[in-house]
Amino acid sequence: MVSTLETRQTVEEVAGDYKYGFVTDIEMVKAPKGLNEDVIRFISAKKEEPEWLLDWRLKSYQKWLKMEEPEWAMLNYVKPDFQDIYYYAAPKSADDRPKSLDEVDPELLATYEKLGISLQEQKVLSGVAVDVVFDSVSVATTFRETLKEKGVIFCSISEAARDYPELMQKYLGSVVPVADNFYAALNSAVFTDGTFVYIPKGVRCPMELSTYFRINEANTGQFERTLIIADDESYVSYLEGCTAPMRDENQLHAAVVEIVMLENAEVKYSTVQNWYPGDKDGKGGIYNFVTKRAACRGTNSKVSWTQVETGSAITWKYPSCILQGDGSVGEFYSVAITNNYQQADTGTKMIHIGKNTSSTIISKGISAGKAQNIYRGLVKVMPNAENTRNFTQCDSLLIGDECGAHTVPYIEAKNPTAQVEHEATTSKISDEQLFYCLQRGLDVEEAVSLIVNGFCKEVMQQLPMEFAVEAQKLLGISLEGSVG
């Protein structure tokens, strides 16, 4: 029917009109192409890392060599050639590490302005500090002095390796072990940059912290590594955004994010993932293989993952919660939009170890074009986890007849007191809904936006204000002002 075609085109416009696809022309320093111990030594030397970290990388590399790329996801793609990738690429200007924002290369500043991110502290949205990672290096971190007054450490992970070795040695790899999976092992060997956050005891972080990841260089992988430690009674809200240029070849992004929460600590981690999704025919786009995991170690600690995934050609991502502390709480709120030939296999794992732990999973998958959207989730209750609860809601929305949505829930309850609930629905934007909106004056684009936004509401309202706006725009919602 005509309306369905129109809807599909609109969604293509909404999701497919990629505004961040430009390339910054800047002089780069790169490691030789391919992966071997020398390349790892090159990366480690560039970052002036301590010896223990180089050893850690080399051990990870040895483990990775013995591992196989996973096949279990419902993803269909040409496997990356790991010898045809640059593992390190950094702007030359960042080589002698700018001491302050004034020293950051103007070309980089302009790039971020264009992406809607100002690095001039006075111009930044008040209350958001940002770390920006350009290919393999962090090029600027704002508000670090303001944060330091509260004892909050907010810096690049490369700096943390030099300046906070005790915290790094204690926690790096403690949530996602080196050999956890193929991509995590690869990341552990070659990770280049990312963000390090430490919130001291009793501190409520005075501003939102954020990292903005940008892939720029061709044939380059981005291997970001983020570590967040929330000490007793602390709180932080952390945001993450990502974009990349439009290119015909696929690019690899394999990240690891680890979060540790101690007694009564709370972390809110929000992602708006908008890597280049490839073109209408499925050419190009980012391969997004990500391991994100949070360990609620302290009693009554809480972690909340919120993700809005609109980009990437391939998404393989399961932000998970290890609910170890008694009474700890894990939440996962997800919107995943796939269009054209995009494929997303995403979900979460909730591992209930402590008593009285609870978890909530709200997943909204939207598929259009020829895309495939898979929710894959595991709820596991360990034998000693008394009185645990999980509630899972998985909703899929289909636009057009050529896309697919699949729900793959795994439940392993090994304690009889566990209460595990799972609900799933699949629906379509109906011609009746569309006509109803059009008859009230909305154009097709506005109508689709409104309906999709309504569908995602429970997730979108979890996002911090600054991000909600960007995310809503990404979903095609008619808010004023547009980026790019």
Partner 1 sequence: MLEIKNLHVEVAGQKILKGIDLTINAGEVHAIMGPNGSGKSTLSYAICGKDGYEVTEGSITYKGKNFLELEANERAAEGAFLGFQYPVEIPGVSNMNFLKTAVNSIRKYKGEDEMAPVEFLKLVRAKAAELEMDPEMLKRAVNVGFSGGEKKRNEMVQMAVLDPGFSVLDETDSGLDIDALRVVADGINRMRAPEKSILVITHYQRLLDYVVPDFVHVLADGKIVKSGDKSLAMELEKQGYGHLGIDENAA
Contacting positions for partner 1 (CB under 8 A): 1-3, 430-433, 435-444, 446-447, 450-451, 453-458, 478
> 3-state DSSP call for residue 413?
strand
Give least dist CB 375 to partner 1, A. 18
- Looking at residue 463, what DSSP letter applies? S
Comparing CB distances to partner 1, the nearer of 32 and 454 is 454
Comparing CB distances to partner 1, the nearer of 143 and 455 is 455
Comparing CB distances to partner 1, the nearer of 444 and 469 is 444
Comparing CB distances to partner 1, the nearer of 52 and 436 is 436
Comparing CB distances to partner 1, the nearer of 408 and 442 is 442
Give least dist CB 472 to partner 1, A. 12
- For the residues of 118-180, what is the DSSP string, one character each? --STTTSPTTEEEEEEETTEEEEE-SHHHHHHTT-EEEEHHHHHHH-HHHHHHHTTSSS-TTS
Comparing CB distances to partner 1, the nearer of 1 and 78 is 1
Pull the structure tokens for residue 64: 């990775």
Give least dist CB 380 to partner 1, A. 30
Distance CA 484, CA 471 (A): 15
Give least dist CB 436 to partner 1, A. 5
Contact (Cβ atoms closer than 8 angstroms) between residue 88 and residue 136? yes
Single-letter code of the amino acid located at 350: M
Give least dist CB 346 to partner 1, A. 21
- Phi first, then psi, for residue 65 (nearest 5°) are -55, -30
Comparing CB distances to partner 1, the nearer of 2 and 78 is 2
Give least dist CB 425 to partner 1, A. 10
Number of C-alpha atoms within 13 angstroms, CB side, residue 239? 21
Name the nearest CA neighbour of 310 among 355, 383, 224, 244: 244
- For the residues of 281-307, what is the DSSP string, one character each? TS-SEEEEEEEEEEEE-STT-EEEEEE
Give least dist CB 450 to partner 1, A. 6
Number of C-alpha atoms within 13 angstroms, CB side, residue 268? 14
Pull the structure tokens for residue 193: 């940059």
